[in-house]
């Protein structure tokens, strides 16, 4: 039986990229994001290209009630949901103490509280099924406190990494799997205006590597593995001045 993957934030960037990769692997998809016209376009592309079934629904993850409504509606419509990828988030953030609390607050709320809502809705489905694979998209910026525009963003991504690990601890003796993914710099719509980033890869490469790692259902993975696996280990022990150079 064909398996189904639910992906949030699927209208652009690595969300859309992963949808393409998993459709190519033969998965049916449940895709959601704020921009329905983009989801419809992606749905048509994937159904015609790969012959898979794609369900699309509008979702603003900051509307917490809507998160539960949409996840439950997908479950009712599709039967079993085998994997849920908590991907929706924002790359905003500003230097601390420069009068941009509203932006930093929105970043943390979208990346952390909204992720909590998605995890609650996902695990509710998986507990009822007694099966499933929860995937949390964190970031390499979660390894250490980061400077400049990454301070609040990195803190929110560290938060979701700990959230995922706590859920893994809770479900450790069940058939439900939990994976935390730490992507390095992937050039997408979210950061298209930024300067060239250290060791960055393009969206297509990043999405392909992400899908390949997620398929293995590891406890955690750094993507791309080189150089981020050794760098991730180093970031935890290097002096903060050296870690700053990656920001």
> Which residues are tagged catalytic?
153
Residue 197 main-chain phi, psi, to 5 deg = -100, 155
Q: How far apart, in whole angstroms, are the C-alpha atoms of residue 144 and residue 146?
A: 6
What are the helix (H) ranges across 59-137?
A: 64-78, 101-108, 114-129
Which DSSP state fits 111? Answer: I
Q: Which residues of 42-65 are buried (b: 16+ CB within 10 A; e: fewer)?
A: bbeebeeebebbbbbbebebbebe
Q: How far apart, in whole angstroms, are the C-alpha atoms of residue 237 and residue 54?
A: 44
Q: Which residues pair with 61 in a beta bridge?
A: none
């Amino acid at each position: 039986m064909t398996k189904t993957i639910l992906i949030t934030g699927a209208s652009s960037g690595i969300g859309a990229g992963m949808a393409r990769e998993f459709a190519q692997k033969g998965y049916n998809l449940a895709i959601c994001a704020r921009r329905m016209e983009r989801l419809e376009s992606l749905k048509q592309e994937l159904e015609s290209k790969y012959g898979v079934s794609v369900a699309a629904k509008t979702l603003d993850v900051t509307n917490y009630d809507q998160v539960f409504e949409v996840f439950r509606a997908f479950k009712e419509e599709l039967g079993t949901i085998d994997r849920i990828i908590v991907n929706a988030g924002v790359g905003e953030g500003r230097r601390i103490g420069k009068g941009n609390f509203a932006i930093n607050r929105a970043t943390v709320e979208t990346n952390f509280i909204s992720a909590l809502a998605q995890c609650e809705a996902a695990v509710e489905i998986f507990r009822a099924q007694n099966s499933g694979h929860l995937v949390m998209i964190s970031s390499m910026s979660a390894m250490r406190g980061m400077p400049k525009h990454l301070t609040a963003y990195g803190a929110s991504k560290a938060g979701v990494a700990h959230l995922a690990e706590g859920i893994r601890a809770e479900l450790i003796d069940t058939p439900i799997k939990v994976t935390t993914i730490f992507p390095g710099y992937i050039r997408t719509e979210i950061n298209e205006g930024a300067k060239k980033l250290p060791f960055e890869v393009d969206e297509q490469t990043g999405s392909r590597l992400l899908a390949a790692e997620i398929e293995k259902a590891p406890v955690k993975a750094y993507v791309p593995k080189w150089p981020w696996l050794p760098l991730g280990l180093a970031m935890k022990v290097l002096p903060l001045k050296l870690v700053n150079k990656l920001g």
